[in-house]
Structure 1
């Protein structure tokens, strides 16, 4: 796997994990301010979610890397 492929795979994993992490800890406020959506979270905690996404994605990518290097599963087209 060349570096560009590794970066692209990490980017895809990161975005997929982000969508799984975004709903964590979402609390809708009891009183909605004028002009805000009723479903908008009170505190989105985006920095914590970005850090969690990065760490989880790194662990998944490392697993993918070792799986790819071990040739247990071939990712090449026949």
Structure 2
């Protein structure tokens, strides 16, 4: 697998991980017991820490990319293993 392909797969996993991680650990001002600024949305986060999200997304993306490349190299799970349109051998009788 080419290095550019690995970088592209890593970038996809990183963006996906970042968006999945965004809502975790976030509290609104009402949940945190803090006063709201006039005109502020009720759903605005009170404790958003983008650095923490970036670090977590990076770690998850590295793990997922490593698993992807190892599966590509060693062929643990192939197309035949996930064929959902064909009946398994034991059901074809």
TM range (shorter): 0.7 to 0.9
**What corresponds to 2:83 in structure 1?**
none
In structure 2, the residue matched to 1:3 is: 3
Alignment of 1:21-40 (within 5 A): 21-30=21-30, 31-40=35-44
Deviations 1:46-65 (A, max 9, x none): 10111011001100110001
Q: Alpha-carbon deviations, 1:35-54, whole Å to 9, x = none?
A: 42221100111101110110
| 1:14 maps onto 2:7 in alignment | no
Number of residue pairs the alignment of both structures matches: 74
Larger radius of gyration: 2
Structure 2: 5+ residue runs without aligned partners? 80-93
Normalised to the residue count of structure 2, the TM-score between the two structures is 0.73
d(CA) in 2 for partners of 1:36 and 1:4? Answer: 43
Task: Give the TM-score normalised by the residue count of structure 1.
Answer: 0.86
User: Shift of the alpha carbon at 1:34?
Assistant: 2.1
Which ranges of structure 1 fall in alignment gaps of 5 or more residues? none
Instruction: Please report the RMSD computed on the Cα atoms of aligned residues, expressed in angstroms.
Output: 1.2
